[in-house]
A and B are shown apart, each in its own frame.
Chain A
Amino acid sequence: MSKRPQRKVTRRQFLVNTSKGACGVGFMGMGLAGYSNQSQSANPQMLRPPGALPEADFQSACIRCGLCVEACPYDMLKLGRLFQPIATGTPYFLARTDPCEMCEDIPCKAACPTGALDPELNNIDDARMGLAVLIDQENCLNFQGLRCDVCYRVCPLIDEAITLEMHRNTRTGHHAVFIPTVHSDLCTGCGKCEEACVLEEAAIKVLPRTIAKGELGHHYRWGWKEKEKAGESLIDPVLDLPDRVPEVLK
């Protein structure tokens, strides 16, 4: 540089530098874009705090400040670290070890400066952090006819979000089994049931609702519900057609 009095860049130099920068950064961007795609399919056991927006929106809203983590009085929230299978720096909790205690004032949501945790969430019972699913029926003690009932007992919404449904015990033939049954319209996904499950590996697990829930075909209607809504059957009653019997049988 010092040899030339003017620091003028020739067109050739400019083009070379520009394409160098663009190509190098382009490579980097491609890798990053791939990584971003992967980060959106996070480990399903890493649950978002109450009020979290849907995953893609959450990742664009969360600025990874950790204010929610510090606001949590039970220290159950963690921030994703580099190379963990979750978007770096975003908050999560593991139901098996640290479930949500469902504070009434939702301090984590109140601390969020960007709205990644929905400020509209005022009642913790409306939170939908996930959905408990009794995923391993082969090992669940209640399914074998024992009265473990622990997941049912610890549920903050006992008899609402989890109920015990009595069925016939087909193994013995003359006993009952009490099946813990989660109701998705009420389960907050706090994870208390998964934490409490007495098995080595929990039989009931809290999963993101996108994974746990099915969705009816949009054109489907439950006939009995439509009937109730309309007050009568929507189709004509079954026609009573004349019986046609072969002549020989008459």
Chain B
Amino acid sequence: MKNNQSLGFEAVKKKGWFSANRFLILRRIVQVTILTLFLLGPLAGIWIIQGNLSSSLLLGVVPFTDPFILLQSMASGHLPLFQGFLGALIVALFYGLVGGRVFCSWICPVNLLTDAAAWCRRKLNLRKEKVISRQWRYWILAMVMILPLFTGVMSWELVNPVSAFNRGLFFGMGLGWILFLMIFLFDLLAVENGWCGHLCPMGAFYSLINRTSLIKVSAVKREQCTDCSDCFDVCPEPEILKGPVYGKKHDIGPLVKDLTCTNCGRCVDVCAENVFEITTVLSGKNSLAKGGEIK
């Protein structure tokens, strides 16, 4: 096994630092921009977007509602107003087109935390080990949706760190910091990508929306792969790359079809051989990565 500290080194040498980090940079810009837009209201009185990621109002007109939370609300026995439905529909359509887990890697602020943990883990060369199954999140998702039928309240939202984190940033965190420290430490010391890749039911929910996604990563030039395994080391869901990268002899297409792909584009970044591209499903090989834009 090669030293993890050289991850992406080849790519930087070959493509230049910017090219080898462009999706990462873009992702951070999007994440920080969204946080800033939400914070501008309460901090500076500039109301571009109100609310938080659970539900918000853009420019006082366009409603967004998190379908994951709205479903919990309905499971606990409440029929929301039209505005809530409309918002959820808009959000579900958006993620249905660009990829459900785009939420995870491009929007969700917990990603900043877990990415930092994953980065530290690579720097510290902590061994990869399979401690818990990645299927757990689906079990948890089932629990999250079933529990309200019995308790009559949104039980998961009492502890949901994802909504608590962004809400805390905009409305005050209190002791919530402890929970987020725990998630960071869990990811760092217990399970690699433990929260986002194994437990988070929100990610599980959005991966289900991923089914209809038009934008997907594709290992189009997989014959150029040099087996450096940088993509596997950097990918938050490395198992999903096996088929598309090495599956030629088993007749597995190059498209990363797995629902858990977050379209983060990190594999595109770190590959020195430009094996990966972000493609739209409709146009086949028409790469969006070449244009350098994905929103």
Which A residues fall within an 8 A CB radius of B?
A: 17, 20-22, 24-26, 28-29, 32-33, 35-37, 39-40, 56-57, 59-67, 69-71, 78-79, 81-84, 87-89, 111-116, 119
Contacts and interface: CB of A to CB of B under 8 A. Distances in A.
Contacts of A70: 41-42, 47, 50-51
B5 interface: no
Given A82-B173, A114-B83, 14 more contacts: A25-B140, A32-B159, A33-B147, A60-B73, A63-B66, A78-B172, A81-B176, A82-B176, A82-B179, A89-B157, A111-B57, A113-B63, A114-B80, A115-B79
Given A36-B151, A61-B78, A67-B55, A87 B158 contact: yes
Interface stretch (B116-124, B162-170, B185-193, B222-230): B162-170
Given A24-B139, A89-B167, A113 B65 contact: yes
A113 B121 CA distance: 41
B70 interface: yes
Contacts of B176: 81-83
B56 A81 contact: no
B72 to A, nearest CB: 8
Nearest to A68: B51
B63 A57 contact: no
A40 B153 contact: yes
A114 B84 contact: yes
A121 B147 CA distance: 31
B142 interface: yes
Contacts of B55: 63, 65, 67, 113-114
Given A29-B143, A88-B158, A113 B153 contact: no
Contacts of A22: 139
B77 interface: yes
B227 to A, nearest CB: 13
Interface residues of B toward A: which range? 35 or more
Contacts of B52: 64-66
Contact of A63 (B42, B54, B179): B54
A102 B172 CA distance: 24
B205 interface: no
B183 interface: no
B56 A89 contact: no
Interface in B26-58: 41-42, 47, 50-52, 54-57
B92 to A, nearest CB: 15
B76 A60 contact: yes
A63 B167 contact: no
B135 interface: yes
A66 B171 contact: yes
A81 B175 contact: yes
B69 A82 contact: no
A79 B140 CA distance: 26
Contacts of A28: 140, 143
A57 B133 CA distance: 36
Given A28-B140, A114-B78, A114-B81, A83 B174 contact: yes
15 contacts: A21-B135, A32-B155, A36-B151, A56-B153, A59-B154, A60-B73, A81-B176, A82-B179, A83-B175, A83-B176, A113-B57, A113-B65, A113-B84, A114-B73, A115-B80
